[in-house]
Structure 1
Amino acid sequence: MSDRPRAVAGRGDAAPPAEIVIGVDVGTTATKVTAFGVGSRWRHTVVREYPLLHPQDGWEIQQPEVILAAALGAIAESVSRGGASRVIAVSLSAAMHGLIGLDTDLRPLTPLLTWADSRATDIARRLRAEGLAAELHHRSGTPVHPMSPLTKLIWFAEHEPELSGRVRAWVGLKDWIVQALTGTQATELSSASGTGLLDLNTRSWSPETLAMVGVSAEQLPIILPTTAALGLTRAVAPRVGLPTATPVVLGAGDGPSGNLGTGALRPGVAGLSIGTSGAVRTVVPEPYVDPGGRLFCYALTDDAWTIGGAISNGGATQRWAGEVFGRPDSGADSSTDEQTLALAATVPAGSDGLLALPFLMAERAPLWDPTVAGAFLGVRSRHTRGHFVRAAVEGVALQLSVIVDELDAVHPIDSVRATGGVFRSDLWRTVLAGVLDRPIVVADGAEGSARGAAALGLIGIGRAASFDSALALLPGPDTGTDRLTNPDPALADTYRRVRADFPRLLSDLGRVAELFRPAAPVPARSG
């Protein structure tokens, strides 16, 4: 992934409007900053990309300073693209579950450990074996998994005690950006609810959990509402081209923001997003922790909560399959997404019996077992490159279908609003609609989380009183461009048969996970 800037042309009305609200979506591999015309269809998106680093097996890290520079650069360009428009607020969304240790000067002592970092796998397994996982999940809404800051903090205490002792503050990705923009060390309820350290009942850090992981509340940011507004500092304001004290609204995590931005807010509607990873969420009015332990519960606001499940292996799975099963002797363009998806589209539904369990990175929902490795099942000599790519797409959709089934048990899901670059592909849309056997509406634009952030920004500065009124001030650039895909009955019937066995296959693979774990290295003999 390159760190070069990439701009997406403005859309909708030709001229920038009088007022703009800026939604900042700090993601895993890119920051997307969208300027939204208030009460206008005008918008403009700027993208800054950066790498996800893998220094050791299971380590998935990033440099906080690199992400901050990307965010500031994208905000500055977004402001300049708005011309004479007045920016009334900057509002934030960010990837959840990251962890950074800061020194006494509040500078990074550690890299950003992203949600994908699985170094705390043994910690999570131990907490489950000790019978603590269910209690921690019920208290916080966050499943026990190496993604969570809770397990990462224990890992630092046990593996890096000297470094851990020098940490003045532990913060997440959003908190790091908030600190840089406003000079205030603060988090918000949504990001806090994804740490594993929150008490859902009190909406504050849990003393019992903090004592277990060995950190104090003074080492963590204060928790503010997702609509809280702070002011841009005098030091940062000129770097982004805005006046000092411009409101910076904290916003929510990227998943909850995505539900808001795509309008997936009413009971029975699920918000589904696929990027590098993927997730399905629905909104409920108060915290809910399912007894089976498969769903997370993260805040959007104090009285709107998202429940659902996230998978670690989303669009990246299809890209991996295209690269691995591409033709190496056909030139640099032989395995582009478009070409591999076109090839996969020639393969019948069900991939002629080939089934992918797409666990390339430590998986999250629905098993929450990061040790389970992926597999292709039913491989035969008739299977071609197209079969493997299509099976990868179908495997991701099947994973998401298990989460939708879990949400069905809470409130029946009748439709899905989807967002993500993969849905530019007809294959992704038809496969997902067929597997879920529900209509899929691909929400207009790729700014779901940024639009959700902008909506919270309007509420935070008092320009809107509700989600609906905020979204009404941020209309899409082209009315009626949401794309509806109804399930094809024949595809739905084929996938229904596969879905019937899929949960059992997941459980079976979990039981034989030991077969897929690397053997310990054999020490060399001396002499």
Structure 2
Amino acid sequence: MLPYLLGIDIGTGSTKAVALSFDGAVLASAQHHYDISSPQQGYSEQDPEMIWQAFVSCVNDVVKQLNYQPEGMGFSSAMHSLIAVDKGGKALHPMITWADTRSEAIAKNIRESAQAEELYRQTGTPIHPMSPLCKLIWLRENDNELVKKTAKFISIKEYIWYKLFNHFEVDYSIASATGLFDIKSLTWSTEACNLAGVTPAQLSEPVNTNYTRRDIDEQTAALLSIAASTPVVIGASDGCCANLGSQINDTITAALTIGTSGAVRITSKTPIYNFKAMTFNYLLNENTYVCGGAVNNGGIAVDWLIRNFLNLKDIKEDSYHLLFAAIDEVPAGSDGLLFLPYLYGDRAPIWDSQSSGAFLNVKPQHTQNHFLRAALEGICYALNDVIVTLESTANITIERLNISGGFVNSKTWVQTLADITGKKLSVIQQEDASTIGAILLTLDALFPGKTIPTTDETIITDCIPQNHDVYLRAFSKFRKVYQDLKESMHGFE
């Protein structure tokens, strides 16, 4: 029997558990999915108890597959969630997820206020409806009765942690994504809490990401099929864990992930502030920051292309093959056709929820395939915009991108991204970067100095110089066109 550590990623759409041996072998894994509810436009909610049940099932599935106990376990979790609970940890309201935009007007007012830049620099969190800061203000203004009944405002990881240990504790990483936490003093920000209308007593106790407990509630331990004395490391957020799991430990290499949305992240010893672009600065531990930016329009924009240009309503694997085969028929640069990919508004670096998609420079020679290629290029331009913003803000040059997400299976998409960014792209062959990152945090906390072998990276592509030259000229137009059209976009209802 190979000893193993259990990493668990509590995501927005599913919870996943991976058992990793000390020699780097994945011994078992489990994943359980759940739904998101949108009772009104802009709302994004989930039942936290449903996520707890998925967590229980994942742990049970792995332990039963192996039929022996883990040496320890640690957590990764989605950021920005908010749950109002009573003093016994019972949820009083559905969890509000990161994707909820009901506090959009509140975020806009804060961004335009005199205290906005100082608030951003103190908390490291972009001022956006995703942040619990804005969500709390919305609750106070729209459901004050719920606020009065609430003992604690917590995240989904804290909800699960309380069920395990009957203590309200939050790691620095999740706390640093709330908009309520001072990332330098490692305490709840007085200014942010006053703005949100909460006190530190209504929030969990902040602890480092290597914080460990060995006193699981006896009944809960039995429910999970593990010993109550199993060491559990609180871990970090999914983005920070993904950087660790993707071997991003400096500013020369960045992690680039594309799922429904997309993100670019580097690891730094100091925050990288840019108030206009609002690059995020989340804590991996007390002296390591994961800095970067997220975009809204990743895979979700590609699916829009398939549904509306190829008229394929039921998207399957073959649908993507058809899309990329069509794109391959068109040269780099789409013969001058340009696409702004802001179908769902966007976050970094423009932070404009009212932005929209737009095709420009449409000529008679442009075919459907040109529109498809231009759209894919637009998605890559938006990610490159984040990369360039990070580089200019921090005065660095990112040399390589460690990429992850389903898009790595498309040679066309990967080559386009390489050609637009001019970077070397590589993929780390691991089960799941966030889950692996949680395991590495657990290893460091429980077995200091011990390492787990990681799979060698595979370089999958370099940019094609002549294509990169084409894209450099187009990218400068891409950035200018958004600024030119911004006011007009905001004029549409």
Q: Give the TM-score, by structure 2 length.
A: 0.93
The answer on whether the counterparts of 1:359 and 1:374 sit within 8 Å (CA) in structure 2 is yes
Structure-2 change in CA distance of 1:82 and 1:394 (3 Å): farther
Q: Deviations over 1:192-244 (max 9, x none)?
A: 11111111221110112111110111111111101111233222222222111
How far did 1:407 drift? Answer: 1.9
How far did 1:429 drift? Answer: 1.1
Which residue identity is paired with 1:299? Answer: L
- Quick check: 1:475 aligned with 2:475? no
Q: Deviations over 1:422-466 (max 9, x none)?
A: 2111122111111110101112134111111100011121x133x
User: What are the residue-to-residue correspondences of 1:231-270 with 2, within 5 Å?
Assistant: 231=214, 232-270=216-254
Using the alignment, how far apart are the partners of 1:255 and 1:458 within structure 2?
18
The answer on whether the counterparts of 1:327 and 1:334 sit within 8 Å (CA) in structure 2 is no
Identity %: 33
Which residue identity is paired with 1:296? Answer: F
How far did 1:475 drift? Answer: 2.5
Which residue identity is paired with 2:443? Answer: L
Using the alignment, how far apart are the partners of 2:166 and 2:470 within structure 1?
55
Using the alignment, how far apart are the partners of 1:414 and 1:154 within structure 2?
41
Corresponding residue for 2:380? Answer: 397
Using the alignment, how far apart are the partners of 1:176 and 1:360 within structure 2?
34
Corresponding residue for 1:514? Answer: 490
The answer on whether the counterparts of 2:106 and 2:138 sit within 8 Å (CA) in structure 1 is yes
- Quick check: 1:419 aligned with 2:404? yes
Structure-2 change in CA distance of 1:155 and 1:425 (3 Å): same
The answer on whether the counterparts of 2:426 and 2:458 sit within 8 Å (CA) in structure 1 is yes
The answer on whether the counterparts of 2:426 and 2:457 sit within 8 Å (CA) in structure 1 is no
Using the alignment, how far apart are the partners of 1:234 and 1:312 within structure 2?
42
How far did 1:284 drift? Answer: 1.0
- Quick check: 1:56 aligned with 2:22? no
How far did 1:248 drift? Answer: 1.5
- Quick check: 1:452 aligned with 2:453? no
The answer on whether the counterparts of 2:124 and 2:282 sit within 8 Å (CA) in structure 1 is yes
| 2:177 counterpart SS class | coil
Structure-2 change in CA distance of 1:487 and 1:144 (3 Å): same
Using the alignment, how far apart are the partners of 2:125 and 2:93 within structure 1?
23
User: What are the residue-to-residue correspondences of 1:12-23 with 2, within 5 Å?
Assistant: 18-23=2-7
Which residue identity is paired with 1:512? Answer: S
Which residue identity is paired with 1:391? Answer: A
Corresponding residue for 1:38? Answer: 22
| Consecutive unaligned residues in structure 1, runs of 5 or more | 1-16, 519-527
- Quick check: 1:497 aligned with 2:476? no
- Quick check: 1:222 aligned with 2:205? yes
Corresponding residue for 2:344? Answer: 361
Q: Which runs of 4+ in 1 moved over 6 A?
A: none
Greater Cα shift, 394-403 or 429-438: 394-403
Structure-2 change in CA distance of 1:345 and 1:28 (3 Å): farther
Using the alignment, how far apart are the partners of 2:13 and 2:362 within structure 1?
33
- Quick check: 1:319 aligned with 2:303? yes
Greater Cα shift, 118-127 or 68-77: 68-77
| Consecutive unaligned residues in structure 2, runs of 5 or more | none
| 1:341 counterpart SS class | helix
Using the alignment, how far apart are the partners of 1:75 and 1:345 within structure 2?
44
Using the alignment, how far apart are the partners of 2:46 and 2:411 within structure 1?
33
How far did 1:384 drift? Answer: 4.8
Q: Deviations over 1:60-87 (max 9, x none)?
A: 2222122222222122112222334x40
Match of 2:50 among 33, 43, 66: 66
Using the alignment, how far apart are the partners of 2:426 and 2:468 within structure 1?
17
Using the alignment, how far apart are the partners of 1:245 and 1:265 within structure 2?
32
Using the alignment, how far apart are the partners of 1:350 and 1:54 within structure 2?
38
Aligned residue-pair number: 490
Using the alignment, how far apart are the partners of 1:114 and 1:377 within structure 2?
34
- Quick check: 1:338 aligned with 2:321? yes
The answer on whether the counterparts of 1:347 and 1:390 sit within 8 Å (CA) in structure 2 is yes
Using the alignment, how far apart are the partners of 2:152 and 2:292 within structure 1?
30
Root-mean-square deviation (CA, aligned residues, Å) is 2.2
Using the alignment, how far apart are the partners of 1:82 and 1:482 within structure 2?
30
| 1:504 counterpart SS class | helix
How far did 1:139 drift? Answer: 1.1
Which residue identity is paired with 1:46? Answer: A
Using the alignment, how far apart are the partners of 1:426 and 1:511 within structure 2?
37
Using the alignment, how far apart are the partners of 2:170 and 2:353 within structure 1?
27
Match of 2:330 among 318, 326, 347: 347
| 2:70 counterpart SS class | strand
Using the alignment, how far apart are the partners of 1:379 and 1:50 within structure 2?
42
Which residue identity is paired with 2:454? Answer: P
Corresponding residue for 2:194? Answer: 211
| 2:81 counterpart SS class | coil
Which residue identity is paired with 1:65? Answer: E
Greater Cα shift, 187-196 or 390-399: 390-399
The answer on whether the counterparts of 1:101 and 1:167 sit within 8 Å (CA) in structure 2 is yes
User: What are the residue-to-residue correspondences of 1:131-142 with 2, within 5 Å?
Assistant: 131-142=114-125
How far did 1:378 drift? Answer: 3.7
How far did 1:365 drift? Answer: 0.5
The answer on whether the counterparts of 1:227 and 1:457 sit within 8 Å (CA) in structure 2 is yes
The answer on whether the counterparts of 1:118 and 1:362 sit within 8 Å (CA) in structure 2 is no
Using the alignment, how far apart are the partners of 1:99 and 1:424 within structure 2?
34
How far did 1:251 drift? Answer: 0.8
Corresponding residue for 1:305? Answer: 289
Which residue identity is paired with 1:416? Answer: L
Which residue identity is paired with 1:83? Answer: N
Greater Cα shift, 386-395 or 125-134: 386-395
Q: Give the TM-score, by structure 1 length.
A: 0.88
- Quick check: 1:282 aligned with 2:266? yes
Using the alignment, how far apart are the partners of 2:92 and 2:356 within structure 1?
32
- Quick check: 1:168 aligned with 2:151? yes
Which residue identity is paired with 1:346? Answer: E
Match of 1:147 among 83, 107, 130: 130
Structure-2 change in CA distance of 1:332 and 1:101 (3 Å): closer
Using the alignment, how far apart are the partners of 2:39 and 2:364 within structure 1?
37
How far did 1:101 drift? Answer: 1.2
Q: Deviations over 1:173-193 (max 9, x none)?
A: 222222223332111001111
Using the alignment, how far apart are the partners of 1:335 and 1:379 within structure 2?
29
The answer on whether the counterparts of 1:25 and 1:254 sit within 8 Å (CA) in structure 2 is yes
Which residue identity is paired with 2:419? Answer: G
Greater Cα shift, 257-266 or 182-191: 182-191
The answer on whether the counterparts of 1:359 and 1:373 sit within 8 Å (CA) in structure 2 is yes
